[in-house]
Structure 1
């Protein structure tokens, strides 16, 4: 697996997620001490999907989040480039599409909103992926990103970066079907930009009204933005 600080090979990343697909949801809950459910709930609230809307859930994995968004009455599609992850969610009754985040197989402006939960850092070109999401979202549509971030309390940030992330691969040996993948995931978390820097990348990709707030002390952050209206484009 390529190091997280280098360019990410899409095939290698897809293969890695194919390898962790078995038991992925259970592993997430164990490794986050159940906080993954709370983060999904906040993502759902901020997304605020409505009946009749079309929502793209990108890097959706096994479609756990897609199902929750669809409970609003919106039409939600789970898109991911790991076939193993999509197969792992085959029992979930939402549409699923194998898709490259940099070349989405959708028309311009077809979605009312796009969202990514804990997948943006795995794309090998963050800004290009954000631009591609903007392409398939209508003017005035919404973007919601839920991703790991930088703890705001300095003492905890030190412990998180120095110790907790180093424990991730160790824990992965006991709960994951592919423990080596968690070495990559830990490094990708360590190398990921902080809240403000990600907000700047979202703006660079053409989104406006970018805002964010922290969850769990900044270990995770929710970013939201809007695609400029047709008159502003």
Structure 2
């Protein structure tokens, strides 16, 4: 079975997710003790998508997040570069498209908001992706990212790094069709930058009013930002 490495070659990452697509959502819920559902609900509140808005859900996988974010009446599009993941989510009834985060197949200013839920750490170039996302979001539009992060409280951080990430790899061996993929996912979680560093990367890509909120002791964090309105770009 395929697994990616931390150089995050796009073809390897896509092949890895193709291989785990069938049981991915089930394995995630199992390994997070169901917290993944709570995190998506909180992300939906932070996104605050309204009827009539167009929302890009990038790295959407099977579209489980897209369906959550569309409940308020917004038109939400699931985009992912893993065809296997998209095929596994066809039953969700949300619009889907294959897309590379670094070369999005959308016109400038096509969306009112963009969101990424547990996917940005798999991009080969985080800043370049954030710049490309800004291109397709309207001025004044929103960016909401939900991703693993760094617990700020030292004892929790120690437990997270020493035990939880290792346990994730072990659990993946029993709950996934591709255990090696979960070794990569644990490695990518350990290597991912902390909340402030990610916020700085978002700001350096041209987004403004960057803020974050910790969830579950900082194991996960939601980052939110705004694309500068036209009158502030001059």
Same-fold status (TM-score > 0.5): yes
Helix, strand or coil for the counterpart of 1:62? coil
Q: Are the counterparts in 1 of residues 66 and 94 from structure 2 also a CA contact under 8 Å?
A: yes
Between the aligned partners of 1:32 and 1:214, the Cα distance in structure 2 is: 16
Helix, strand or coil for the counterpart of 1:71? helix
Between the aligned partners of 1:70 and 1:212, the Cα distance in structure 2 is: 22
Helix, strand or coil for the counterpart of 2:72? coil
- What's the counterpart of residue 114 of structure 2? 114
Between the aligned partners of 2:4 and 2:169, the Cα distance in structure 1 is: 16
Between the aligned partners of 1:3 and 1:163, the Cα distance in structure 2 is: 21
Does 1:176 find its partner at 2:176? yes
- What's the counterpart of residue 80 of structure 2? 80
Does 1:3 find its partner at 2:8? no
- The aligned runs of 1:18-33 (5 Å cut-off) are 18-33=18-33
TM-fit CA distance, 1:3: 2.8
- What's the counterpart of residue 198 of structure 2? 198
C-alpha deviations, 1:128-178, integer Å up to 9, x for none?
001111000000000000000001110110111112111211111100011
- What's the counterpart of residue 140 of structure 1? 140
User: Residues 175 and 2 (structure 1 numbering): CA distance in 2 closer, same or farther, change over 3 Å?
Assistant: closer
- What's the counterpart of residue 152 of structure 1? 152
Q: How many residues align?
A: 231
- What's the counterpart of residue 165 of structure 1? 165
Structure 1: gaps (5+ residues): none
TM-score (structure 2 length as normaliser): 0.97
TM-fit CA distance, 1:24: 1.1
Between the aligned partners of 2:71 and 2:213, the Cα distance in structure 1 is: 24
4+ residue segments displaced more than 2 Å: none
- What's the counterpart of residue 70 of structure 2? 70
Between the aligned partners of 2:169 and 2:94, the Cα distance in structure 1 is: 32
Structure 2: gaps (5+ residues): none
- What's the counterpart of residue 217 of structure 1? 217
TM-fit CA distance, 1:2: 4.3
Q: Name the one with the larger helix percent.
A: 2
Does 1:94 find its partner at 2:94? yes
Range that drifts further, 165-174 or 55-64: 165-174
C-alpha deviations, 1:19-56, integer Å up to 9, x for none?
11011111111000000000000000000000000000
C-alpha deviations, 1:82-128, integer Å up to 9, x for none?
00000010101111000000000000001000000000000000000
